[in-house]
Structure 1
Amino acid sequence: MTELLITRDLAFPVERVWRAFTDPSALAAWFWPQRFAPTAEADVRVGGRYRIDGPAVGMAVSGEYRTVDPPRLLVFTWQWDGENESTLVTIALTPAQDGTQLTLRHEAFDSEEARDEHDQGWRDCLDRLPGWLDG
């Protein structure tokens, strides 16, 4: 199994970081660049579904929530429109002295190339997150 692991320290409370990943308007505001014209839907409950759409660039991802334990743990499947591969994302939020430690694990890739592409994508997304959290 091929996976990636990214950890970020964020100077914001756990509840605010949780909202960034679970509120559709928040997701649309930071997840992808605004030039993608992103929209998001999220039914944040076990068995609920989400979708993040970038209609300006013709890409979208969706999946199902597997674990929802606010505001600490969010596990969901990840599948790009038009792709057969489904992977698994785990977002763990841990209170830290100066805010929140975010740990992102994305696993079950069928190749190192797919993992590396997602690693770069997640890093780009997470680079935008502090700007939204600060807003």
Structure 2
Amino acid sequence: MNDTALQLRTVVVEREFPYPAEKLWRALTQPHLIEAWLMKSDFQPRAGHHFKFSADWGSVDCEVMEIELHKTLSYTWAAHGLESVVTWTLEPTPGGTQLRMEQAGFRTDQEQAYQGAKMGWKRFFDTLEGVLVKESAP
């Protein structure tokens, strides 16, 4: 492997949602809500918990690395040769909550995974928005 393959890239997606951080936190940490916008999982919000995301194309092996209630969630994301870390950051704003997702660890020789993540996370955010709207309906 040459040195350029060791340079790592990161995908970042940010969006402000008109909901309190607690509501977004539930969508990030409750398995039935995670499944509604991302993938089926056996996630539990505790550091060191090993879990999987499952979809029709396969699965992702993960481990919770960091969790700070309503503020930060970080877990490993290992699938198809990609070893990365996904970090969610929630920041209160006057209009709701700024949600930031950062997936770090794409090697330059993982262009397909990198481009797929750039497009995929934006779609997941759109789906998440729909789930939050539904959860807020009377």
Q: Would the TM-score normalized by the shorter structure come out above 0.5?
A: yes
1:59-98 correspondence to structure 2 within 5 Å: 59-80=58-79, 83-98=80-95
Q: How many residues align?
A: 125
Tell me the equivalent position of 1:10. 17
Alignment of 1:1-135 (within 5 A): 1-31=8-38, 38-54=39-55, 57-80=56-79, 83-111=80-108, 113=111, 114-135=113-134
Q: CA RMSD in A?
A: 1.3
Counterparts of 2:11 and 2:70, CA distance in 1? 22
Larger radius of gyration: 2
Gapped regions of structure 2 (runs ≥ 5): 1-7
Q: Which portions of structure 1, spanning 4 or more consecutive aligned residues, are displaced by more than 4 angstroms? A: none
Q: Which amino acid aligns with 1:133?
A: L
Moved more, 57-66 or 2-11: 57-66
CA distance in 1, matches of 2:22, 2:75: 19
Unaligned residue ranges in structure 1 (runs of 5+): 32-37
**Identity within the alignment, %:** 27
Tell me, in whole angstroms, the C-alpha distance in 2 between the residues paired with 1:29 and 1:14: 18
